[in-house]
Amino acid sequence: MWQYAGFLCLALTLAHPAHSATRSDLDLAKEYQVKALFLYNFANFVEWPADAFADQSSALKMCLYGAVPFGEFLDIVNGVMVRDRTLEVIRTTDYARIQSGCHILFVGIDHHDKLDAFFKDLNHLFVLSIGNVEDFARMGGVVNILRTSDQQQFEINLTKAIENGLLISSDLLSLARIINDR
């Protein structure tokens, strides 16, 4: 229940766009808010094994790699508690910074053309990788946020999630389109 309260608080915080924005700016801001809410909620509905953390006090690291236009919306939740861990939001364009370890990894739009090499080079054990480009989940990502004609939806590569050691809540799975690699 506390996950829903956190989601609602974040939604209310993000629901106040600037007054001088144009209609298309407002639509874009709303889309960014929705994507940020998806990422925050994924943190609440996925469980990582104890081996994914150095110790009990280690943070849950959410890395935003590359151009992530909605990163500022996630800065709001930097430092909040997700279950028994502090959420640490890391925004970076430095590949070395994500190699050191992320629990949640969103790949920005400027790296979509390198996804094949990206998934071969990076150790994704215990990583919930998230993207928003066609076939992201089929290429090796765990979650793909999709834009349909009227809303944002997501798909989950369940096989990849299990291979990565992640346990995804049945509540989250019930909302997703499931992809299995095998």
| DSSP-derived secondary structure for the chain | -HHHHHHHHHHHHHT---TT--HHHHHHHHHHHHHHHHHHHHHHHEE--GGGSSSTT--EEEEEES--TTHHHHHTTTT-EETTEEEEEEEES-HHHHHT--SEEEEPGGGGGGHHHHHHHS--TT-EEEE-STTTTTTT-SEEEEE-SSSEEEEEEHHHHHHTT-EE-HHHHTTSEEE---
Residue 7: pLDDT above 50?
A: no
What's the pLDDT score for residue 22? 61
Residue 181: per-residue pLDDT: 61
Contact 141, 157 (CB under 8 A): yes
Residue type, 138: R
The CA distance from 59 to 74, in Å, is 15
Q: What is the pLDDT of residues 131-156, one digit of tens each?
A: 988 888 888 899 999 877 677 889 99
pLDDT for 182: 55
In the prediction, which pLDDT does 152 show? 81
For 12-69, the pLDDT digits (tens) are 444 444 444 565 877 888 888 989 999 999 999 999 999 999 999 999 999 999 999 9
Distance of alpha carbon 77 from alpha carbon 86, whole angstroms: 10
| For residue 2, pLDDT beyond 80 | no
For residue 75, is pLDDT > 50?
Answer: yes
Class of domain 2-179: alpha beta
> pLDDT (tens digit, 9 = 90+) per residue, 88-125?
999 999 888 888 789 999 988 888 777 777 777 767 78
pLDDT of residue 18: 45
